[in-house]
Amino acid sequence: MKIIACIKRVIDYNVRVQINREGNGVVTDGVKMSMNPFDEIAIEEGLRLKEKGIADELIVVSIGGSDSQQQLRTALAMGADRAILIENTDDLVPLGAAKLLLKVIEKEQPGLVILGKQAIDDDRNQTGQMLAALWNRPQATFASEIVVEGDTATVTREVDAGMETIEIDLPAVITTDLRLNEPRFVKMPDIMKAKKKPLDVIAADSLGADSAPAVGTSDYSPPPTRESGVIVESVDDLVNALKARGLV
């Protein structure tokens, strides 16, 4: 079985994100970029399924500018077999991303597609679901455990009420949650090996998918800053302070 893991290059989770001076985006100049952490978990799960002998090839796919090759190389160093970059620098929303990924999936015919449940830059949590719908295959989102046997996968999902276990037919789309696994460290000799693994670059507009966004973002603003608190001496002071503000 072939597995495809999809990854996105995002602003690193340690970075304090700042809105640019024009208010129409966030600052990326000189800012550290990394692989979306949920996608790292997707790759790790793909590798574990390969190590168990369930999969025989792990392909990583990303959509983005040529910089995204850096994250794809990291995925190859973790152990993926080959990488595909769908090169695109235009604005993209989850539906557009799902349409582009579908084109690659139709060509590669994987038995399983694993994605992060969401990307930490826009936190949309939609691409996996949309992809399953477009592909017309089952989906299991927010996975914290995956067991593959024959043509089915038993997936434990993290839902609001606790855990839910479902069985789905393969091929299918699974999105990862934080507890699924802990991604491995990249080893130095593997970084060298990764430099020689195949990485194909495909222009997004050559795929024939209509990926133009139907929604846009008009402006960005930071959340309002919290006013500093006051320390009150006694309950009476508290009541008086609340009264003064007309709150009781």
Binding residues (CB under 8 A) for other proteins: these are 12, 14-16, 18, 21, 29-32, 182-189, 191-192
Which residue has tokens 């090996």? 193
- How near is the Cβ of 184 to other proteins at its closest, in Å? 6
Say if residue 149 is exposed, middle or buried (CB neighbours under 10 Å; 0-12, 13-18, 19+): exposed
- How near is the Cβ of 28 to other proteins at its closest, in Å? 10
Diameter over CA atoms, the chain:
73
The amino acid at residue 248 is: V
CA distances for 135 relative to 129, 130, 171, 226, angstroms:
10, 8, 10, 45
User: Nearer Cβ to other proteins, position 77 or 97?
Assistant: 77
- How near is the Cβ of 223 to other proteins at its closest, in Å? 14
Report yes or no: 73 and 195 within 8 Å, Cβ to Cβ. yes
Report yes or no: 219 and 24 within 8 Å, Cβ to Cβ. yes
User: Nearer Cβ to other proteins, position 87 or 190?
Assistant: 190
- How near is the Cβ of 192 to other proteins at its closest, in Å? 7
Q: Is 19 helix (H, G, I), strand (E, B) or coil?
A: strand
CA distances for 76 relative to 5, 148, 198, angstroms:
11, 23, 9
User: Nearer Cβ to other proteins, position 183 or 199?
Assistant: 183
- Order of all β-strands in the sheet with 162-169: 162-169, 152-159, 139-149, 172-176, 112-116, 2-7, 57-64, 82-87, 199-203
- How near is the Cβ of 134 to other proteins at its closest, in Å? 35
User: Nearer Cβ to other proteins, position 12 or 57?
Assistant: 12
- How near is the Cβ of 186 to other proteins at its closest, in Å? 8
User: Nearer Cβ to other proteins, position 29 or 219?
Assistant: 29
User: Nearer Cβ to other proteins, position 21 or 226?
Assistant: 21
